[in-house]
Amino acid sequence: MIINIVAGGPEEFLPHLNEFNDENCIWVGVDRGVFYLLERKVKPFIAFGDFDSVSSLELHEIEKQVAHLKRFNPEKDETDLELAMNWALGQKPTEIRIFGATGGRLDHFFGNVQLLIKPVMANLSINLSLIDKKNIVFVKGPGNYSILKDPHFKYISFIPVSLHVRDLTLRSFKYPLNDCHISLGSTLCISNELIDDVGTFSFSEGILIVVRSHD
């Protein structure tokens, strides 16, 4: 099962959501993201939010069309997106894809990126990614991974979010590495590229954010 979560970030950053409308996916709306889905004739299974970013008419439409609506007070400890993601993690899907979580306010953006770390910290084997028109972002813990060339996302960056990432090895990359140690704050691994159809990366300790981008 795949869970697609659409948050309420600036609409111009959304990719074409119909490209991700797999048969075995569940759609979840978050705050204004619920209305983005309804505008695209996609009915979310469940919706979360305080809905302070929609008009009263839009909220009425949301209430009319969404059977499972979880409304919250604006004064709460978690963001709307974190509440939705906690629910999604509890469904034990194979993959969670988050849209509408980039652009606009930087505090929300950094908070959303940090949410990607939660499954890694909990040792959950769930593929979790944040996707917009120009980027795919995901987080990995220690291990060995394959990554496929995609001309639409030519650039691949590895950003440490732990104090140290040890023994980072990149194979079939334009700028390869072998058992390299990088520290928090390093930009050594920004903007790499694959030179073969499949590349690999591995490391023995730490947490990495992986960003696939295009200009």
Domains and CATH numbers, the chain: 2-133 (3.40.50.10240), 140-213 (3.40.50.10240)
Neighbours of 90 (CB within 10 A): 8
Q: Which of 114, 138, 136 is nearest to 126 (CA)?
A: 138
> 67-100 pLDDT, tens per residue?
898 888 777 778 999 999 999 999 999 999 999 9
> 172-198 pLDDT, tens per residue?
999 999 999 999 999 999 999 999 999
Q: Which of 156, 159, 122, 153 is nearest to 139 (CA)?
A: 159
pLDDT at 212 over 80: yes
pLDDT at 169: 98
pLDDT at 148: 96
DSSP string for 80-98: HHHHHHHHHHHT--SEEEE
Q: Which of 35, 81, 30, 74 is nearest to 54 (CA)?
A: 35
CA atoms within 13 A on the CB side of 207: 15
> Whole-model pTM above 0.75?
yes
Neighbours of 124 (CB within 10 A): 11
* 99: alpha, beta or left? (left if phi > 0; alpha if psi -120 to 50): beta
Radius of gyration of the chain (CA): 18
**Residue 83: alpha-carbon gap to chain centroid:** 15
> 16-67 pLDDT, tens per residue?
998 998 888 999 999 989 989 999 999 899 999 888 777 788 778 888 888 8
